[in-house]
């Protein structure tokens, strides 16, 4: 089975420099095969007979490179389902982002007054995935810090184009 490994906070603004060649080597040392990386922001495709342990991957990165990061994984099938369930499919691809958490959200967001204060930004939660629309860009949004606090766990975010590329890359050999 092929999995997509998503790291949070590496190679952003010159912090937590993690060369993708080093990431590939670490993942291969853990026994994963057919390891590929995509761009410099901590995306990898791996093949594994068992469900990979995200905590073990994070520990190996910390041990090898002294970089503390959050590791989240999704299978190719899970990424396809993410797209199928997208409540914002009609929004511009350039404003669409996906947040990936390692666990299901532990808080329900049902107070529309609270959610409406982030307009024009929008979001929806499905299990451990967050769908987000940032018409004016993510950089100026107050939504992200609020979501981190609300869910009491960190997430890693990818834009629509990156997710589409990761789906294409993880399709090879998918069962």
C-alpha to C-alpha distance for 47 and 125, rounded to whole angstroms: 28
Predicted confidence (pLDDT) per residue in 133-172, tens digit = 999 988 888 887 788 777 777 889 999 999 999 999 999 7
Instruction: Report helix, strand or coil for 65.
Output: helix
The pLDDT, as a whole number, for residue 139 is 84
Helical spans, DSSP H, in the chain: 20-29, 54-65, 76-84, 112-116, 143-151, 160-171
pTM of the shown model: 0.90
Q: Which residues 6+ apart lie within 8 Å of 104 measured at CB?
A: 127, 128
pLDDT along the chain (175 residues), means of 10: 92 79 96 94 93 94 94 96 95 95 72 72 90 90 81 87 96 62
Encoding tokens for residue 166?
């990761």
Q: Which residues 6+ apart lie within 8 Å of 31 measured at CB?
A: 48
């Amino acid at each position: 089975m092929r999995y997509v490994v998503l790291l949070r906070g590496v190679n952003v603004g010159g912090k937590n420099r993690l060369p993708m060649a080093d990431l590939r080597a670490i993942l291969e040392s853990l026994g994963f095969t057919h390891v590929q990386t995509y761009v410099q922001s901590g995306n990898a495709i791996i093949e594994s007979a068992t469900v990979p342990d995200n905590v073990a991957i994070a520990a190996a990165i910390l041990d090898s490179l002294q970089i503390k990061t959050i590791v989240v994984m999704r299978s190719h099938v899970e990424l396809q389902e993410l797209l199928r369930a997208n409540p914002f499919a009609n929004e511009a691809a350039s404003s669409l982002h996906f947040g990936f958490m390692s666990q299901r959200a532990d808080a329900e967001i049902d107070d529309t007054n609270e959610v409406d204060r982030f307009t024009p930004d929008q979001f929806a939660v499905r299990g451990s995935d967050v769908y987000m629309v940032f018409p004016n860009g993510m950089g100026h949004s107050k939504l992200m810090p609020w979501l981190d606090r609300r869910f009491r766990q960190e997430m890693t975010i990818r834009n629509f184009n990156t997710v589409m590329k990761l789906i294409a890359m993880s399709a090879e050999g998918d069962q």
